[in-house]
Chains A and B, each alone.
Chain A
């Protein structure tokens, strides 16, 4: 009778045994398990991303020759414009370098940009991150800034063999130094979340009381050199409202981030030159051009 009563608790005992085994498991084993499970599913994410590429390819194949010729012509024009701009940038970089030497100023950090495709997006209420299809094999370092044509994307949180995880600027754990355009004093930006059917949001803290914004006259929030890893002046978002903080000296408010953030296909990892890990494979030349951070 007593044995039968005890057997009722068997499921609970089995659960406790499993939980105890998990809690006493050495950290090394847990880390090994985590890496193993991550690398097991990395090809799944990559396959999904390649399927997306294939889908785009067949969509393009379905377009008429006329449309393709027009697109080619537009691209050629854009190419010509960018080539001129590149020459401009080179001469400006040379001028900056000359002035730095002349005035004995500390030089700006140099970066190279590693362009990578997005393989996976995890945009839940609890975390906002993307996985890119380049990792230790392309010399991506942990903590590197990630940007796109619209501005700041986030920061590399983890680097794996062939993939990296990027914490998005909208993630609640993301913080960086920033500047409101037209204001010299730095402010603090931190991610908030992505409410349903609206743009991702962030918040700005420590804004001087003199700064005034309204939803009809928002102010652009850009990256600051104080942030360290981000080149200066990249768009983070728009400050749409400010309210007085509890201390009375500073304000805080909402930042509207770019709606494209959740649908990114391609991003660029900003790698400070001299802070690179040695890549395991040869990189294609198109992606390793060294350019100035400013």
Chain B
């Protein structure tokens, strides 16, 4: 498997986004809100990397998120790997899509990710209305924040890829 420089750039971008979202959540947590922008980690890797690299990136990002959390290590990795594989089915369309279209896709994927995580991690709170109120609040806040942060982040990723002489189009052999 040849080394794809784009994979490393997208991995560093994911670390940057993770850190920035963490800073936002540090402040928002006090108001009972949390931003979940998991889809943004996955959209461009699924659009422009070979599947093996996209999966590696999804796993690494998941490990980064899981490491400090009280959740089974690898939970987010598996969730992101499944999402990347689903997105990979639309790789050609994603590679050609404009920024606005990518954000629309990210909005849909993000909402599904939040709901799936909420179901899987609810535990004894599954039937608690306050829990779903909180999840609803987080979903709304994330949906409102994603276009803004996503616009910047996807533009940043695309700029990085252009800087290295490559674009967001899918690899030939994919």
Contact = CB atoms under 8 A, between A and B. Distances in A.
Nearest to B89: A11
A14 B85 CA distance: 9
Contacts of A109: none
A129 B138 CA distance: 17
A126 interface: yes
A251 interface: no
A172 B123 contact: yes
B13 interface: no
Q: How large is the interface on B (under 10, 10 to 19, 20 to 34, 35 or more residues)?
A: 35 or more
Interface stretch (B21-29, B98-106, B149-157, B164-172): B21-29
A76 interface: no
Contacts, number: 136
B110 to A, nearest CB: 15
A123 B30 contact: yes
Contact of A172 (B34, B51, B117, B125): B125
Contacts of B124: 172
B63 to A, nearest CB: 5
A81 to B, nearest CB: 30
A165 B78 CA distance: 24
A235 interface: no
A188 interface: no
Contacts of B31: 196-197, 262
Interface in B58-109: 59, 63-64, 66-71, 73-74, 77-78, 81-82, 85, 88-89
Chain A interface size range: 35 or more
Q: Which of A10, A157, A194 has the most CB of B within 10 A?
A: A194
A263 B28 CA distance: 10
A121 B66 CA distance: 14
Nearest to A127: B70
Contacts of A40: 64, 67
A125 interface: yes
Contacts of A129: 68-70
Interface stretch (B2-10, B37-45, B128-136): B128-136
B118 interface: yes
20 contacts: A11-B88, A14-B52, A22-B59, A22-B74, A22-B78, A44-B22, A48-B23, A120-B26, A120-B68, A121-B25, A122-B29, A124-B29, A124-B36, A126-B122, A165-B68, A194-B29, A194-B134, A195-B134, A196-B32, A200-B32
Interface of A: 10-12, 14-15, 18-19, 22, 30-31, 33-35, 37-38, 40-41, 44-45, 48, 120-127, 129, 131, 157, 165, 167, 172-173, 192-198, 200-201, 262-263
Given A41-B19, A195-B137, 8 more contacts: A19-B81, A40-B64, A40-B67, A123-B30, A129-B69, A195-B32, A262-B29, A262-B30
**Which 8 residue pairs of A and B lie closest in terms of their CB atoms, listed nearest first?**
A123-B29, A196-B137, A262-B30, A37-B67, A38-B67, A196-B32, A125-B134, A124-B34
